[in-house]
């Protein structure tokens, strides 16, 4: 599914450099392929804003070539932003009001940083609820990532996320729980997913609301689930969109926070992510950091290049497969006029045209 470079968003150029198929608008108009319009509500903080664009655009664009994709990034004005991010958003992002008027076929909602234990205290809470309520009635399917999953579980179902004893951080194996479901059809029945979170929604909470678990880890818990109608809302707790180096960059950030006195404890390395040699390199660096701090010396340079060269990505293909399946069902169910709710003429108890035991 080729992406269509319908704006000057720099993410399109970056993806084209990586080898992604990105069509110019004029070329797209001359192809007899149906278009799909996918919204990306990007709530990530400034440092991750553009990387998150690329990650989700990449997953969508690498799906099967049955449609042309017009990606529509937008955000919420209530999220705190610095000057550079505000300029990027003003130049390349779209207002939600216009998207609501023109319609979307699918919607992806990212995670966000929070500052309060209760989501309802966040400044973005009300606007997020407004976007989601509109999407449930007017968008074929909404895919919620990490914190977005936790927020939706709270305001739609009254299920509050639960605090974990320690941060769930690393790459964990997951097993497909229902291989008949179209979202996990023909993907690996055992696959890895990165996680990075302090909280979780449990299987018991998911099933209490009639939702359906599709992929789960014995260690990391539920990764992929769908709403009671089996498709309108897709819940992710892991991060299949992550780049190979995403966890390493997050670890680097936490190490530097410790080095500058903004974190009290030295961060553990993400689980199941690094080889023995890479762990040894980072352990040696930790010792140098502690020695430098004790002796008042400058902070040594983080050995990112030494570690990043030997990292393995064991999750992207399956993540691409799941998103491709999601896009395929959006394509099948949505009307060409995006203002018509997809449930019109569809059995609400079985929107995928299947019967589940």
Reduced 3-state DSSP string for 145-172: ECHHHHHHHHHHHCCCCEEEEEEEEEEE
Query: Considering 6, 88, 195, 239, which one is annotated as catalytic?
Result: 239
Domain with CATH 3.40.50.880 in the chain: 3-242+315-333
Q: Is 146 assigned a catalytic role? A: yes
Determine how β-strand 162-176 pairs with β-strand 190-200: antiparallel
Q: Is 72 assigned a catalytic role? A: no
Position 350 scores a pLDDT of: 59
- Least confident range from 4-13, 33-42, 288-297: namely 4-13
- Strands (E) located in the chain: 3-4, 22-23, 35-41, 68-74, 106-109, 141-145, 162-176, 190-200, 212-217, 221-226, 233-236
- Per-residue pLDDT band for 24 (boundaries 50, 70, 90) equals confident
- Least confident range from 7-16, 223-232, 283-292: namely 7-16
The residues that bridge with 171 in the sheet, in sequence order, are 194
Position 294 scores a pLDDT of: 85
Assigned token pair, 150: 């936790």
- Least confident range from 2-6, 53-57, 241-245, 340-344: namely 340-344
How far apart are alpha carbons 49 and 291 in whole angstroms? 34
Tens of pLDDT, residue by residue over 255-264, are 999 999 999 9
How far apart are alpha carbons 327 and 333 in whole angstroms? 10
Query: Considering 53, 144, 146, 212, which one is annotated as catalytic?
Result: 146
Q: Is 239 assigned a catalytic role? A: yes
Q: Which helix (H) or strand (E) holds 108?
A: strand 106-109
Percent of the chain surpassing pLDDT 90: 75
Assigned token pair, 316: 């992207």
Residue 208's region, left for phi above 0, alpha for psi from -120 to 50, else beta, is alpha
DSSP 261: T
How far apart are alpha carbons 338 and 115 in whole angstroms? 36
How far apart are alpha carbons 210 and 213 in whole angstroms? 10
The model carries a pTM of 0.87
Position 14 scores a pLDDT of: 80
Tens of pLDDT, residue by residue over 300-345, are 999 999 999 999 999 999 999 999 999 988 887 875 555 444 445 4
Cα–Cα distance list, 322 to 90, 315, 327 (Å): 32, 11, 9
How far apart are alpha carbons 123 and 64 in whole angstroms? 38
Residue 253 has pLDDT above 70, yes or no: yes
Residue 298 has pLDDT above 50, yes or no: yes
| Section 191-210 average pLDDT | 97
- Per-residue pLDDT band for 20 (boundaries 50, 70, 90) equals low
Residue 207 has pLDDT above 90, yes or no: yes
Position 259 scores a pLDDT of: 93
Query: Considering 53, 241, 254, 278, which one is annotated as catalytic?
Result: 241
Domain 3-242+315-333: give its CATH architecture: 3-Layer(aba) Sandwich (3.40)
Assigned token pair, 192: 């890895």
Position 26 scores a pLDDT of: 66
Residue 31 has pLDDT above 60, yes or no: no
Packed helices 83-92 and 46-61: angle between N→C axes, nearest 10 degrees? 30
Assigned token pair, 1: 């599914």
How far apart are alpha carbons 333 and 351 in whole angstroms? 8
Tens of pLDDT, residue by residue over 120-134, are 899 999 999 999 999
Assigned token pair, 243: 């780049």
């Amino acid at each position: 599914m080729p992406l269509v470079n319908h704006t000057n968003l720099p993410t399109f150029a970056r993806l084209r450099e990586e080898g992604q198929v990105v069509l110019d608008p004029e070329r797209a108009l001359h192809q007899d392929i149906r278009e799909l319009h996918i919204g990306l509500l990007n709530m990530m903080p400034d440092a991750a804003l553009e990387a998150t664009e690329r990650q989700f655009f990449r997953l969508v664009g690498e799906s099967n070539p049955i449609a042309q994709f017009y990606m529509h990034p937008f955000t919420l004005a209530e999220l705190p932003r610095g000057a550079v991010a505000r300029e990027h958003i003003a130049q390349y992002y779209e207002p939600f009001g216009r998207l609501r008027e023109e319609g979307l076929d699918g919607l992806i909602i990212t995670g966000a940083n929070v500052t309060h234990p209760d989501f309802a205290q966040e400044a973005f809470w009300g606007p997020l609820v407004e976007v989601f309520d509109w999407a449930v009635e007017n968008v074929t399917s909404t895919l919620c990532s990490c914190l977005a999953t936790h927020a939706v579980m709270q305001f739609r179902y009254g299920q509050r996320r639960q605090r974990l004893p320690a941060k769930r951080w690393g790459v964990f194996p997951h097993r497909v729980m229902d291989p008949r479901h179209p979202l996990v059809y023909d993907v690996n029945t055992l696959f890895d997913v990165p996680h990075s979170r302090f909280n979780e929604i449990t299987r018991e909470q998911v099933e209490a609301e009639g939702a359906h678990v599709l992929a789960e880890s014995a260690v990391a818990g539920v990764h992929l689930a769908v709403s009671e109608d089996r498709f309108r809302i897709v819940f992710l707790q892991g991060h299949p969109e992550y780049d190979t180096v995403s966890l390493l960059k997050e670890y680097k950030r936490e190490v530097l926070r410790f080095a500058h006195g903004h974190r009290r404890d030295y961060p553990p390395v993400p689980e199941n992510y690094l080889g023995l040699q890479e762990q040894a390199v980072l352990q040696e660096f930790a010792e140098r950091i502690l020695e430098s701090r004790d002796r008042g010396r400058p902070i040594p340079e983080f050995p990112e290049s030494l570690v990043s060269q030997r990292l393995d990505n064991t999750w992207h293909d399956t993540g691409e497969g799941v998103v491709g399946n999601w896009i395929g069902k959006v394509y099948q169910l949505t009307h060409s006029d995006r203002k018509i709710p997809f449930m019109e003429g569809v059995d609400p108890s079985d929107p995928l045209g299947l019967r589940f035991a």
